Structure 1
Amino acid sequence: MSASPGRAPRRAVRAAALACCAVLAAGCFGPAARTGADTAAATPAAAPASAVDLEGQYLKVIGAVLPSVVQIQAGDGLGSGVVYDDAGHIVTNAHVVGSERTFQVTTAQDRRPLTARLVSSYPEQDLAVIRLDRPPGGLRPAVFGDSGKVRVGQIVLAMGSPLGLSSSVTQGIVSATGRTVSEGSGGGGTGATIADMVQTSAAINPGNSGGALVGLDGRVVGIPTLAATDPDLGGGAAPGIGFAIPASMVRTVADQIIAKGRVVDSGRAALGITARTVVDDRYRPAGAAVVTVLGGGPAAGAGLRPGDVITRLGDRPVTSVTSLSEALAAGRPGQRTTVTYQRDGAEGTAEVTLGEQ
């Protein structure tokens, strides 16, 4: 499965634009002086007993969450973001901020644009943090939940600015958890391979990138980032299949950026190489060819050389750079595993201790 990121171009919205295939959604919730951490301040709601109760719960969560969702203008593109703390930090996608350093942010409480600046971007996880120059009074941070408690079938709401339509809400369910998805590098994407993503049926459209996926208890369970694309639809978005970066990873990255100015402990495994996809005589992907080997890195220590073609990492087949990234995403720094490779027409194996990206 492939997936594509998306941010909406800054343009007028037409009905025909709704046929666009792209990505993402948003949402959040929390008291006025809260940080992005999950606390008892957001008490899980009781399960609705009727349609009226369910509608009332929707209205309650939307009323509490939308003030934490912002619209971000980055150059000519529009995306969404989630207020992370009362100091004016906002978490969003790296592909929303792109190469920009300054942004115009519109909050739900005040339609006048506010200026924000980039704190740091971490494209490897497609996350970034920006900060408002002058945080307005009453800024409401979101409460981020525990991704480990997300369950398939759980009702979720996606909130953001699809196609520039700010403060929009859609609903769906959690369709799956633990997905590893590779983001395209075209169309503004970062090319990241992201593990443990939350799959949702909530509608995701361009401009929702960087917003929030919210449970009925008002906690953010993820940052919607990708929509699946279907080759049979000409590469268009596959309806009802979107992906969100899990809230726990969002908190890990955002907390490091705010405290250190950058990510210092990614938790992402690496081999210490650059590689390219090679094909067989039928032009089918057949492995990841090593282009360069980082001196002193894991691959160098295992004896891998430029020209080697990696065909397996542990028990996972490697047919391309993407599948190698997905195999690494399933590992952890410090993990010991086996690399299977081709060299001069012969197969070899090497034991490697994974490093950190």
Structure 2
Amino acid sequence: MIPAAALALAGLLLAGCSSGPSSSSASASSGSSGSSAPASAAPSTSNELQDDYRRVITDVLPSVVQITAGDSLGSGIVYDDKGDIVTNAHVVGDAKTFSVTLANSTKALDATLVGSFPESDLAVIKLSQVPGGLKPAVFGDSSKVEVGQIVLAMGSPLGLASSVTQGIVSATGRTVTEPQNAGSPGATIGNMVQTSAAINPGNSGGALVNLSSQVIGINTLAAVDQELNGAAAPGIGFAIPAATVTSIADQLIKTGTVANSGRAALGVTARTYFDSNFQPAGAAVVSVVDGGAAAAAGMQPGDVITKLGDTQITSIAGLTTALASLQPGAKTTVTYQRDGQTKTADVTLGSL
């Protein structure tokens, strides 16, 4: 299952479909007379790359499972040898019990919810009985992910278990917001990995893998084109980075809750502020958390935040997106309106 989601790109929404990269070929003709050069053998590097693909698939695919939650279908990754499986929060939804099918089996296994953290669209479920030979995935260092890296996306798109698509890392550090529909928790997620590997409905919760057989992210979102009535926007998909996945999963497994999300917080509850022309013009502070970043900087309920650092803020969604791109402990300047006057406050961001 993959949710619809919004991305700050003109003409695009994030939803359930994208496609992998296309390949092209070119031919060249000799400028000399009649004879043609004999066909040359394919370069050995192509066979080596094919062998790399096969090795990675053999290494990682046994760690990718199919998850059924009621009428919904998604994917997951075996996290440890105790039967913990990490997936997207929108895959588990409100369910507490699940059926899990391993890549090397057709037998459905029972699982129960360990914990869910919708704010980062991550959840952990646990097999009720751990089968022999369960193979946990190896998670890589997502801070070392580079644009142009070859990656494979593994999961159960459209219910086709143990499917694999290929592409590259198209970008890193993307901040993406999911709308609250189709089971999506509406999370704003920072530092996502953008990929051209095809991500389709059912891929959510599956693995984005490098050629070292390491999981560098969890497949979560894909883009559609608003101008084409929601048709797939080829080659635009997003994965939650491994660093976020392992941090949240470790906390859920240990306590069932998340105390340190790794997400920056200003320490306010806010709503979108509309100006006299009924246009969104900021984020109005409704309440301030005692001891939070905003309180320490002297901000008060009624203040209207118009800028965070150099980013203009016109809505609560804009404030959430701006914060998602920052880290707890980061220092920034908040520009706000109070009683018709423009003020600034230097803040040290806390943790959500």
TM-score if structure 2 supplies the norm length? 0.84
1:213 is paired with a residue of what secondary structure?
A: strand
After alignment, is 346-355 or 184-193 more displaced? 346-355
Partner of 2:109: 114
| 1:220 Cα offset (Å) | 0.8
Q: Which string of whole-angstrom CA distances, capped at 9 and with x for unpartnered residues, describes residues 57-94 of structure 1?
A: 21221122211110111122111000011110000011
**Kept in 2: contact 1:154–1:173 (CA 8 A):** yes
Output the CA distance in 1 between the equivalents of 2:169 and 2:199: 13
| 1:235 Cα offset (Å) | 4.4
Partner of 1:349: 344
1:81-92 map, 5 Å: 81-92=76-87
Output the CA distance in 2 between the equivalents of 1:292 and 1:150: 39
Output the CA distance in 1 between the equivalents of 2:321 and 2:241: 17
> What RMSD over aligned residues (CA atoms) do the two structures have, in Å?
2.3
| 1:278 Cα offset (Å) | 3.2
Instruction: Indicate yes or no: 2:185 matched with 1:190.
Output: yes
| 1:316 aligned residue (311, 319, 340) | 311
| 1:23 Cα offset (Å) | 5.2
After alignment, is 250-259 or 139-148 more displaced? 250-259
| 1:128 Cα offset (Å) | 0.8
Output the CA distance in 2 between the equivalents of 1:282 and 1:229: 32
2:295 is paired with a residue of what secondary structure?
A: helix
Residues 72 and 232 (structure 1), Cα distance of their counterparts in 2 relative to 1, 3 Å cut: same
| 1:300 aligned residue (295, 308, 329) | 295
**Kept in 2: contact 1:21–1:236 (CA 8 A):** no
Residues 283 and 225 (structure 1), Cα distance of their counterparts in 2 relative to 1, 3 Å cut: farther
Residues 178 and 114 (structure 1), Cα distance of their counterparts in 2 relative to 1, 3 Å cut: same
Q: Which string of whole-angstrom CA distances, capped at 9 and with x for unpartnered residues, describes residues 21-55 of structure 1?
A: 51589xxxxxxxxxxxxxxxxxxxxxx95222222
**Kept in 2: contact 1:5–1:188 (CA 8 A):** no
Output the CA distance in 1 between the equivalents of 2:267 and 2:202: 34
Output the CA distance in 2 between the equivalents of 1:282 and 1:206: 41
Partner of 2:225: 230
1:115-264 map, 5 Å: 115-264=110-259
Identity of aligned residues (%): 64
**Kept in 2: contact 1:333–1:354 (CA 8 A):** yes
**Kept in 2: contact 1:4–1:23 (CA 8 A):** no
| 1:333 Cα offset (Å) | 2.3
| 1:341 Cα offset (Å) | 1.1
Residues 314 and 177 (structure 1), Cα distance of their counterparts in 2 relative to 1, 3 Å cut: same
**Kept in 2: contact 1:151–1:174 (CA 8 A):** yes
Instruction: Indicate yes or no: 2:33 matched with 1:22.
Output: no
| 1:351 Cα offset (Å) | 2.6
After alignment, is 277-286 or 346-355 more displaced? 277-286
Q: Which string of whole-angstrom CA distances, capped at 9 and with x for unpartnered residues, describes residues 90-134 of structure 1?
A: 000111111111111111122111111111111111111111000
Ranges in structure 2 where 5+ consecutive residues have no aligned partner: 7-13, 20-42
TM-score if structure 1 supplies the norm length? 0.83
| 1:203 Cα offset (Å) | 0.7
Output the CA distance in 1 between the equivalents of 2:45 and 2:110: 44
Output the CA distance in 1 between the equivalents of 2:277 and 2:226: 20
| 1:291 aligned residue (286, 295, 303) | 286
1:50 is paired with a residue of what secondary structure?
A: helix
**Kept in 1: contact 2:283–2:305 (CA 8 A):** yes
**Kept in 2: contact 1:222–1:247 (CA 8 A):** yes
Instruction: Indicate yes or no: 2:81 matched with 1:95.
Output: no
**Kept in 2: contact 1:195–1:330 (CA 8 A):** yes
1:300 is paired with a residue of what secondary structure?
A: helix
Output the CA distance in 2 between the equivalents of 1:109 and 1:179: 34
1:34-45 map, 5 Å: none
Output the CA distance in 1 between the equivalents of 2:110 and 2:80: 16
Partner of 1:4: 4
| 1:271 Cα offset (Å) | 1.6
Output the CA distance in 1 between the equivalents of 2:185 and 2:313: 21
Partner of 1:325: 320
* Alignment-mate amino acid for residue 54 of structure 1: L
